[in-house]
Chain A
Amino acid sequence: GAVVSQHPSRVICKSGTSVKIECRSLDFQATTMFWYRQFPKKSLMLMATSNEGSKATYEQGVEKDKFLINHASLTLSTLTVTSAHPEDSSFYICSARKASGTSSYEQYFGPGTRLTVT
């Protein structure tokens, strides 16, 4: 199997606070994890690519100081939304790619985290 979990599944926070979202590959090792954001009735937009043991690569327009990514192990990546504002409210989804024996297209997605900033 290739199961990816996310925690929490839903979080509500006040404006100005920080929120951490965890992405775990449960039954495989992932050298690369990806973070996407999806607004209602919109497509998934890649935010950043996270490689284990190195700095994340952010897409154009994504503030790296606002969306802190840590990929400290082969099974865990975290996304921290710092000083969250209402416009950060969205559905955040991670995906993971297997470390070995993989085809380049195989990304397994987590169930997503719905963030609401009040």
Chain B
Amino acid sequence: QKEVEQDPGPLSVPEGAIVSLNCTYSNSAFQYFMWYRQYSRKGPELLMYTYSSGNKEDGRFTAQVDKSSKYISLFIRDSQPSDSATYLCAMRPPPGGGADGLTFGKGTHLIIQP
């Protein structure tokens, strides 16, 4: 079992729809959870982060973490064609344990149809 599982898609939805992106993970040591957006041939851009369980909202984006289920989600409201990209979840343990790098999901390719 991979540490982080993410459906690669593609996920195609009409403009204005609510998008739900998800990841599951197996390492209970993960405490910090992030969502990155990556356009083709570009580096990832940090969208959202959450610490431990809970929700966090930023504009049209909402990140949710359910540590009991080892499940994280990113919701995009009022989706726009410019949101079309690959969305990667990433996570890591607390600092100080020597494992400072991020563990990424495979990424979900999202297409917003005009």
A-to-B contact residues, CB < 8 Å: 4, 6, 32, 34, 36, 41-46, 49, 57, 59, 91, 93, 95, 97, 104-112, 114
Contact = CB atoms under 8 A, between A and B. Distances in A.
A75 to B, nearest CB: 17
Nearest to B92: A105
B78 interface: no
B106 A42 contact: yes
Interface of B: 4, 6, 8, 32, 34, 36, 41-46, 49, 51, 88, 90, 92, 94-95, 98, 100-107
Given A43-B105, A104-B95, A109 B8 contact: no
Kindly name the residue among A4, A41, A104 whose own CB sees the greatest number of chain B CB atoms within 10 A.
A104
Identify whether the interface residues of A are mostly helix, strand, loop, or mixed.
strand
List the 8 closest pairs (A to B, CB-CB), nearest first: A46-B101, A109-B43, A104-B95, A105-B32, A43-B106, A43-B104, A44-B104, A111-B43
Contacts of A105: 32, 34, 49, 51, 92
